[in-house]
Amino acid sequence: MPLWQRQEIQEMLRQIIRTAAILVASSAIALPAIWPEEFFGYKRVLVEENAPGTEAIWEEFGFEEGESVRYALNGKEFEAVAWRFNDATSAMAVYEWKRPVDAQPSELTGLGVEWDDGAFVAHGNYVLRFDGYKPDTEQMVGMLLIVPMLEQSQLPTWVSFVPADGVVSGSERFVIGPESLQEFEPGVPPSVAGFHFGVEGRIARYNTPAGDLKLGVFSYPTPHIARQQLAEFRMLPGALVKRTGPLLAVILNPADADEAQKLLGRVNYRATITWDEMTRSYEPSLGEILLTTLLFVGGLLLAAVILGGLFGGMKFRRWRNQDVEEDPMILLHIEDK
């Protein structure tokens, strides 16, 4: 029997083929899928996976995929990184967490900062960073048109009720779960925040005459839930708490209680109601109503005359065409009586 026909050899070959198929499939999955081969004349010379690590906070933020690239053109090179998350809120949270503090606001996207030779932006569920190259608006739009699995859900609107004046630049942090809360405000236990209610939070430091104060604002689905959690927050040592609508604002261990109260007083929830005003319908005049009524009645009469004439004509024609026998004479025979 030839060697290749032996059962153990065939089984080994099958194992080798199976292993090779798995490796090919896994490598196909790991192929670059975010950055294109060419970026406005620059050629991609290096691409690799960019995973932030095994920190639980990244999993909480819904990290899906990361990719680092290097582009080159005429001896000039720059590097770029792209991170994709499961929604736009998570991307915003990572953008606020990782953006360079000394960068200037950028108009490339709604959320973005830039410096002399770089930019850091968030759009939809993506966070992008450029080092050694600052794209213009057209290039950024072109890039965002080709990124895969772009998701552009609405960002939380309640953030607009958090005070913006006096914020220490780069201190804003967005909280969506226990891991990010412990990272940005460990003084509030996750059980007190109540993430099983679907709460979100914003942490930031503020400049005050008495020094910096850290303000945390937590948004709950309903005012009732916020009122329920208010008692939990008040039990925290040294906590000053305020509820306004579905929002809870808290400052832990403030150096100056008066300045803390002033800062809490600036957190005010205002319910917004969308009112769809009914468009005013057209109101015809009395003459138009009478004219329309006469035309309608006249149309009915004309239709009745036409239909009656057709029906009568058909009956008359049928009567003329049929053979009618003469009625026989009836004789009474009176003379025989």
Which token pair is 328?
């026989």
pLDDT band at 91 (very low <50, low <70, confident <90, very high): very high
Residue ranges making up the domain that contains 87: 31-146
What pLDDT is recorded for position 3? 43
Alpha helices, H only, the chain: 7-29, 56-60, 88-98, 137-146, 178-184, 190-193, 223-234, 257-265, 286-321
Q: Which of 241, 265, 289 delimits the end of a domain?
A: 265
pTM, rounded to two decimals: 0.70
What does pLDDT average to over the chain? 84
Sign of the CA dihedral running 10, 11, 16, 21: positive
b/e map 253-287, b = 16+ CB within 10 Å: ebeeeebbeebbebbebeeeeeeeeeeeeeeeeee
pLDDT band at 322 (very low <50, low <70, confident <90, very high): low
Contact 91, 43 (CB under 8 A): no
Place of tokens 């999993």: 59
Question: 319 lies in a domain?
Answer: no
What pLDDT is recorded for position 295? 82
pLDDT band at 26 (very low <50, low <70, confident <90, very high): very low
Contact 236, 252 (CB under 8 A): yes
How far, in Å, CA of 302 to CA of 82, rounded?
A: 75
Question: 329 lies in a domain?
Answer: no
Q: Are residues 56 and 136 in the same domain?
A: yes
How far, in Å, CA of 79 to CA of 71, rounded?
A: 6
> What is the pLDDT averaged over residues 205-212?
93
What pLDDT is recorded for position 8? 58
Question: 279 lies in a domain?
Answer: no
Residue 56 CB coordination number (10 Å):
13
Q: Are residues 184 and 261 in the same domain?
A: yes
What pLDDT is recorded for position 310? 78
How many separate domains does the chain show? 2
Per-residue pLDDT of 122-160, as tens digits, reads: 999 999 999 999 999 999 999 999 999 999 889 999 999
Q: Are residues 132 and 185 in the same domain?
A: no
The residue among 215 and 316 whose pLDDT is bigger is 215
Question: 217 lies in a domain?
Answer: yes
Q: Are residues 41 and 108 in the same domain?
A: yes
Which amino acid, residue 226? Answer: A
How far, in Å, CA of 110 to CA of 122, rounded?
A: 8
Question: 67 lies in a domain?
Answer: yes
How far, in Å, CA of 319 to CA of 188, rounded?
A: 101
Q: Are residues 164 and 139 in the same domain?
A: no
**Phi, psi dihedrals of residue 242, rounded to the nearest 5°:** -140, 140
Place of tokens 């059980």: 191
**Phi, psi dihedrals of residue 179, rounded to the nearest 5°:** -65, -45
What pLDDT is recorded for position 4? 41
The pLDDT of residue 244 is above 70: yes
Place of tokens 């050629």: 43
Per-residue pLDDT of 285-318, as tens digits, reads: 777 777 788 888 888 888 888 877 777 777 667 7
pLDDT band at 331 (very low <50, low <70, confident <90, very high): low
- The CATH number of the domain where 120 resides is what? 3.40.1000
Q: Which of 265, 296, 317 delimits the end of a domain?
A: 265
